[in-house]
Each structure stands twice: as structure tokens, then as C-alpha cells.
Amino acid sequence: MLAQTAEDVSEALQRLGEASLEYKLDGARVQVHRSRDDVAVFTRSLNDVTASVPEVEAVRALPANELILDGEVLSLDAAGRPLFRAG
């Protein structure tokens, strides 16, 4: 994409004219490593965030002894809504 920044929505609309907007939820890029019951979750910069990711038990429940998963994770609350962390 050839995206450009703007100070605010008004400035962006002034530059673009008519536009369509949509919500986008950004997760965190992670790699999950599993060897038997040992599960570790790492960020893109190799920080171990295993203790911060509640879905580790879901990975242990997968029908595999060894695996590496690579992707983006978005944690959900009990009602199935995305968890947000103020940045």
C-alpha cells in the first residue's frame, strides 16, 4: 500500500475526498513452540511472552507432540470480544 499519514481524520478526508473506513484489529505477531507439554511463545524480537498469553493451554490440547506455529494472535475475553490494552 502507498499509505500516507495525516494529522487527523479531517485532514485525511480533505486529501482523499470520499473515503470508506473500516475497523481493523491488530494482534501480535508470535511464534509458538511446543515439545510435548512444554509450550513457549515468542514475539518477533524473540521476547518470551509465554506467561502473558492465556491460550497456551489451547496449544497443549492440540493433537501433536511437536509443533511450531507462526502467525498473529488476538486474545479474547470470556464473552469472545477482543482484549484491548491501552498503548
Q: Which of 2, 4, 5, 24 is catalytic?
A: 24
pLDDT in tens, 15-74: 888 888 787 777 889 999 999 999 999 999 999 999 988 778 899 999 999 999 999 888
The cell for 37 is 507439554
Looking at residue 9, its pLDDT comes to: 87
State how far the Cα of 21 lies from the Cα of 34, in Å rounded to an integer. 39
Quote the pLDDT of residue 78: 84
- Domains and their CATH numbers in the chain: 25-73 (3.30.470.30)
Contacts of residues 55-62 at CB distance under 8 Å and 24 or more positions apart, as own/partner, are 59/32, 59/34, 60/34, 62/34
Verdict on whether the full-model pTM lies above 0.85: no
**Higher-scoring residue by pLDDT: 2, 76:** 76
- Residue 10 to residues 7, 22, 53, 82: CA-CA distances in angstroms? 8, 16, 37, 28
In this prediction, residue 1 has a pLDDT band, given cuts at 50, 70 and 90, of low
Active site residue 5: no
Task: Please measure the distance between the N-terminal and C-terminal CA atoms of the chain and give it in whole angstroms.
Answer: 25
